[in-house]
Amino acid sequence: MNRIIIDCNKKEGIISPELHSHFIEFLGACIYDGIWVGEESEIENYGGIRKAAADALSALEPPIIRWPGGCYADTYHWRNGIGERSKRPVTYNENFGTFERDDNQFGIHEFMELCRITGAKPWLNINLLSGSVGEMRDWVEYCNRREETELSLLRKKNGSPEPFMVEYWGIGNECWAGGGNMTAEMYAEEFRKYSSAMPLCDSRNPDSGFSMKRIASGADGNKPKERVEWTRRFFKALGQFRQPRLDAMDLHFYNWNVENPDDRDVAFSEEGWYKVINSCLELEDVLKEQYDLIQEGLSGFPEAEGFFPVTEPKCDLVVGEWGNWHGSSFKSRPALWQQCTMRDAITTALTLDIFHRNCRLVKAACVAQTVNVLNSLILTQGKQTILTPNYDIFMMYKVHRGAEKLSLRTENTSSVISGEGAFGKAGGSTLENIHAFASEKGNHVFVNLINADMAKEQEIFLEFSDGGKLRPESVRTIFAENAQDYNSAEEPDKIRSRQGTLPEEKDGGFLYRAKPASVSVLTFTAV
Ligand code: AHR
């Protein structure tokens, strides 16, 4: 029997809602067609923004949306995207094989409108590679300056009298690759300049409650040796003399699936299923390693001299891009478009649970990307807007936002491993293809049960220790008839989450039957 024992007395950190954030970029059909259709379009829109996509996102309440890239940020000049739309310059988008003219219709005002509609906080990535410190300063002024200046008046003229109050600022993107092929030392030098030159705007005022976060380009999570070097040497270089402000480091991790050319987004073997499912679990170890390296780096900073009080250096770990990347997407038009089957839904759930489980180490994470690129939640085809099963996973997991992680251990007939160790080996559970996570909010306990077995239904016995009496209240579950199923324009709701069967109360615990290749969220209420 697969047993999961949840200790309701052992709380292990608060799940930051920002772990459920998003990334959108000028790449393929993410922005144009996906989010932006234009005011004149026959497709229903809010001033040019595709209504169905905006509505779907609003329902999801995205905590943060990161834009304009990604790699594209390093070729993007924000001034091209302001002013009368018909007069904006036409540039060319080569990003990741997009190869299309870009008429800059979706600029900062349109992005801020998307954030306003969906309730998201913006994260802007500045252009470190082909921009300049001055261009960055001007963008911050334009967005966040409250007092009347030339740039804030220009913002007003363009329709936004109130400052945007953008809190998150990414300084560079993947500076080890498309962002400049830099060494960690070179990047540290660039970071010093950009961070020091960034205007403070209202974040200077402690009473404003607003603080701008400078986010450094973190390591390539997929390169085991390089990622250690990157973080260690970046901090070492930054540890010389005085330090610029640094609030977070942005790690990127993709679940690459490129080795087997026959494995496609919608066509894969049993081997391909388990390959993709199991390799996403590596992220758990990467998070722990990178968190430790950041702490080690901060501890190497010199002690400040002089009279003025200094605050303890602190730097959060954030993940600006994550998701499955199937090799078949390289041949797709639009660029990097891929379908999302139940395989992607399971890895989306597993990855979000890795973030939940490590909520003391990681503060924000953005799925790559929200619309029409890679691990999408939304796909569009002409007038149609299709929600992938990944969307349902995000929706089902909303209950964990702001909740407290509960300790749990797993047992099966052959092994008993407790506490964190239960998920110690590359983030995997000790149970065969069963993964679990639990949190508590108010008088509810929420339990995620993932059956990653492609073909077999599995019985799971749940027990609660020290939790008082709990009653199963509801079950939300998602599964497919076939693991390769997906939602398309022809069958947009082929896989949808639905109400599941309540677990059976038995021997002081609860017995749940998890369908093959399924994700379930069980809600229990204290009685
Ligand atoms: O998400 C697609 C691309 O992947 C991004 O532009 C880049 O940052 C990463 O390499």
Reported as a pLDDT band with limits 50, 70 and 90, residue 424 is very low
Q: How far is the CA of 190 from the centre of ligand 1 (A)?
A: 21
pLDDT beyond 50 at 518: yes
Banded pLDDT at 254 (limits 50, 70, 90) = very high
Amino acid, single-letter form, for residue 65: I
For atom 2 of ligand 1, which residue has the closest CA? Answer: 70
Ligand 1 atom closest to the Cα of residue 95 is 6
Atom number, ligand 1, closest to the C-alpha of residue 23: 1
Looking at residues 397-403, what average pLDDT do you find?
98
Mean pLDDT value of segment 283-302: 97
Q: How far is the CA of 70 from the centre of ligand 1 (A)?
A: 5
Give residue 468's pLDDT: 72
Least confident of 10-19, 351-360, 419-428: 419-428
Residue with CA nearest ligand 1 atom 3: 70
* 422 pLDDT above the threshold of 50: no
| CA 371 to centroid of ligand 1, rounded, Å | 14
Q: For 5, list phi and psi in degrees, rounded to 5.
A: -115, 120
- Smallest CA separation from ligand 1 atom 4, residue: 70
- Neighbouring C-beta atoms of residue 33, cutoff 10 Å: 20
Q: Which range is least confidently modeled, 92-101, 141-150, 430-439, 461-470?
A: 461-470
* Percent above pLDDT 90 for the chain: 91
Q: Among 284, 281, 282, 264, which residue's Cα sits nearest to residue 272?
A: 264
Which helix (H) or strand (E) is 134 found in, with range? helix 133-144
Mean pLDDT across 416-438: 62
- Confidence bin at 271 (pLDDT 50/70/90): very high
pLDDT above 60 (res 420): no
Q: What is the 3-state secondary structure (H, E, C) of 367-428?
A: EECCECCCCCCEEEECCEEEECHHHHHHHHHHHHCCCEEEEEEEEECCEEECHHHHHCCCCC
**410 Cα to the center of ligand 1, angstroms:** 36
Which residue is catalytic, options 174, 282, 411, 440?
Answer: 174
pLDDT over 50 at 516, yes or no = yes
pLDDT in tens, 318-356: 999 999 999 999 999 999 999 999 999 999 999 999 999
Tell me the pLDDT band of 413, cut-offs 50, 70 and 90. Answer: low
pLDDT at 418: 42
DSSP 68-129: S-SGGGGG--GGGGSS-GGGSPPEEE-GGG--EEE---S-HHHHHHHHHHHTPEEEEEP--S
Instruction: Name every protein residue with a CB atom under 6 angstroms from any ligand 1 atom.
Output: 25, 27, 69-71, 96, 173-174, 321, 368-369, 374
* 3-state secondary structure at position 514: strand
What pLDDT, in 10s, does the model give residues 43-98?
Answer: 999 999 999 999 999 999 999 999 999 999 999 999 999 999 999 999 999 999 99
pTM equals 0.96
Q: For a pocket test of ligand 1, which of 22, 23, 25 has the largest count of ligand atoms closer than 8 A to its C-beta?
A: 25
- Residue nearest to ligand 1 atom 5, measured at CA: 70
Do strands 168-171 and 121-125 pair parallel, antiparallel, or not at all (unpaired)?
parallel
Q: What DSSP assignment string belongs to 304-346?
A: PPSSS--PPP--EEEEEEEEEEEGGGGG-SSTT----BHHHHH
| pLDDT at site 429 | 62
Q: Provide the pLDDT for residue 425.
A: 39
Q: Which of 282, 321, 411, 440 is catalytic?
A: 321
The answer to whether residue 174 is catalytic is: yes
Residue 503 φ then ψ, to 5°: -70, 155
